[in-house]
Amino acid sequence: MSIGSDVTARLKEAVGSNGFTGDPQEIAPHLVEWRGKYQGRSTLLLKPQTTAQVSRILAICNETRTPIVPQGGNTGLVGGQISFDGEVLLSLLRLNRVRSVDAYGMSVIAEAGVILAQLHEAAAKADRYFPLSLASEGSCTIGGNVSTNAGGMNVLRYGNMRELVLGLEVVLADGRVLDLLRALRKDNTGYDLRQLFIGAEGTLGIVTAAALKLFPKPVERAATFFAVPDVTSAIALLHRMQEETGGLLSAFELVPRIGLEMVLAHVPQTSDPLQERSPWYILAEATGGANSGLQNTMERCLAAATENGIATDAVIAASEAQRAALWRLRESISEAQKFEGGSIKHDVSVPIAAIPDFLARGMAAVERRVSGVRPVPFGHLGDGNIHFNFSVPKGGDSTAFLARWEEINRIVHDIVHEFGGSISAEHGIGVMKPEEILRYKSAAEIETMRMLKRTLDPNNILNPGKVVSI
């Protein structure tokens, strides 16, 4: 599609001389996601600095039936933030103020363009803690985190973004501003409208600010890297550690031996923390106050786990540097996988108790279809979310392998569905999975989603083609 010159002029006027660009070189980085899987096109990038400017933009777009695609830090993995058909691209990076921090009320109000790492810093200055933690936290934004219902490392204890949002400021498709920006812990005055926009990927409205929960700043962090003989043992370890820590376990991450070997081979300044090889590892971390005694608790867990055979070895981080080194091993798996050629990725969740059987069935099914394929399942075992990746066979043709993406997706997603799981645990739907959810969601669910879209965006201007079609 092309944007008419009169519409372009009105949109430019709405944001002022510093609020737009038509320079292809400046727009180009906004049109490709970091894996290079998706490449978009647009001739106009708008860069509003206020909610009022976003309101004027959407009013014009709605009146003229001009599609628009919102974008935060461009770290999404399903193409939801990419403009594919020449739509107007709306960057929210200049809405970047932390409006307020309420240390006593344990809340913060941040605009959509605030970088997650900057929000961490703002909370820390008030001696508070915002628990959302992602590998992309140095570039992802609060608006994107809300719009994709981001998960990450600490969902086990603190929940995903949906559980961290107290209130929202949202600009509707027709330009009206929906002010739900209340930091109340209890508000039982009708429908909880904020939940409509969390995880909606900008298809129902544009989030411009969020009121978020803060927590006491952890004083003690205890991280342990366990070797376990199998995933069933890992789940037994999870239950034991939850009981021993009294719910203070914040992360419980699964690492396969092949993933660790990829990291050791390709990521500088990494080393194997244990002497003996193991097929599986767990990186577990608990956080608490100054007198929580977590280090001693971890030592008791380690002793009991090795005595019972659910762990074969472990190392407890004795310093912040050692803790960071352990986390680097886990967080570098995706990066290291790139050096091994093409990889087909899945972001899925199943009931925790079903994970061992799910992994066994999923790996066997794909291995039967692709001889020599290398399964690399890793991630948030504690909340049931597995990044179930497959690397091209050693020495294989990456292009040919990646051409089988949809075929392998179907195999894995069908098995996920059989186990009562979800084909998207934290990455969203975007442009990658709208057709997939038609296969796995009920007709009533899909029609309800379409009804919401038609009601809130009747002219289909907000991120068209993403999540659900109308």
Q: What is the CATH number of the domain that holds 246?
A: 3.30.70.2190
Per-residue confidence (pLDDT) for residue 3, from 0 to 100: 87
Mean pLDDT, range 34-39, rounded to an integer = 80
Mean pLDDT, range 445-470, rounded to an integer = 96
Residue 394 CA to residue 100 CA, distance in Å, equals 52
Residue 15 CA to residue 12 CA, distance in Å, equals 6
Angle among Cα 430, 153, 279 to the nearest 5 degrees reads: 105
Residue 137 CA to residue 119 CA, distance in Å, equals 10
For residue 176, tell me if it sits in a domain: yes
Environment class of 295 (CB within 10 Å of its CB; exposed 0-12, middle 13-18, buried 19+): middle
Domain co-membership, 102 together with 212: yes
Domain co-membership, 185 together with 236: no
40-85 tens-digit pLDDT: 999 999 999 999 999 999 999 999 999 999 999 999 989 999 999 9
CB-CB contact of 123 with 101 (8 Å): yes
- Chain centroid, CA 340 distance in Å: 23
For residue 448, tell me if it sits in a domain: no
110-143 tens-digit pLDDT: 999 999 999 999 999 999 999 999 989 999 999 9
Mean pLDDT, range 392-419, rounded to an integer = 96
H or E segment at 26? helix 24-27
Mean pLDDT, range 316-324, rounded to an integer = 95
For residue 9, tell me if it sits in a domain: yes
SS3 7: helix
For residue 451, tell me if it sits in a domain: no
pLDDT of 1 strictly over 90: no
Task: Give CA separation, 241 vs 162, 251, 297, 309, 437, in Å.
Answer: 25, 11, 9, 15, 35
Mean pLDDT, range 310-339, rounded to an integer = 95
Residue 262 CA to residue 394 CA, distance in Å, equals 12
- Nearby residues of 72 by Cβ (< 8 Å), 6 or more positions away: 81, 92, 93, 112, 113, 140, 141, 142, 143, 144, 145, 147
* Dihedral sign (CA 428, 432, 438, 439): negative
Among the listed residues 62, 73, 162, the one whose alpha carbon sits nearest the alpha carbon of residue 118: 73
Mean pLDDT, range 342-347, rounded to an integer = 95
- Nearby residues of 218 by Cβ (< 8 Å), 6 or more positions away: 129, 287, 288, 289
Domain co-membership, 76 together with 108: no
Structure tokens at 276: 């003996």
Per-residue confidence (pLDDT) for residue 205, from 0 to 100: 98
Per-residue confidence (pLDDT) for residue 100, from 0 to 100: 97
Domain co-membership, 171 together with 104: yes
Quickly count: other Cβ atoms within 10 Å of residue 192's Cβ.
11
Per-residue confidence (pLDDT) for residue 35, from 0 to 100: 72
The H-assigned helical ranges of 377-419 are 398-402, 405-418
Domain co-membership, 251 together with 306: yes
Q: Which one of 190, 216, 242 terminates a domain? A: 216
Mean pLDDT, range 344-363, rounded to an integer = 97
Domain co-membership, 204 together with 228: no
Q: Which one of 173, 199, 216 terminates a domain? A: 216
Q: Model-level pTM?
A: 0.93
Domain co-membership, 389 together with 369: yes
- Domain range spanning residue 403? 340-438
Mean of the per-residue pLDDT values of the chain: 95
Mean pLDDT, range 433-455, rounded to an integer = 96
Radius of gyration over every alpha carbon of the chain, rounded to an integer in angstroms: 23
For residue 445, tell me if it sits in a domain: no
Q: What is the CATH number of the domain that holds 139?
A: 3.30.465.10
Per-residue confidence (pLDDT) for residue 254, from 0 to 100: 98
For residue 134, tell me if it sits in a domain: yes
Residue 20 CA to residue 89 CA, distance in Å, equals 10
Mean pLDDT, range 136-160, rounded to an integer = 95
Number of domains making up the chain: 4
CB-CB contact of 148 with 201 (8 Å): yes
Q: What is the CATH number of the domain that holds 384?
A: 3.30.70.2740
Domain co-membership, 109 together with 207: yes
> Between residues 35 and 282, which one has the greater pLDDT?
282
Q: Which one of 216, 248, 264 terminates a domain? A: 216
Domain co-membership, 288 together with 322: yes
pLDDT of 34 strictly over 80: no
Domain co-membership, 207 together with 249: no
Per-residue confidence (pLDDT) for residue 193, from 0 to 100: 97
For residue 52, tell me if it sits in a domain: yes
Domain co-membership, 302 together with 366: no
* Dihedral sign (CA 238, 243, 245, 251): positive
Per-residue confidence (pLDDT) for residue 4, from 0 to 100: 87
Among the listed residues 181, 248, 173, 256, the one whose alpha carbon sits nearest the alpha carbon of residue 453: 173
The beta strands (E) that lie in 96-194 are given as 98-102, 107-111, 128-129, 165-171, 177-180
Could you tell me how many residues make up the chain? 470
Maximum separation of any 2 CA atoms in the chain, in Å: 74
H or E segment at 202? none
Q: What is the CATH number of the domain that holds 12?
A: 3.30.43.10
Domain co-membership, 112 together with 84: no
For residue 64, tell me if it sits in a domain: yes
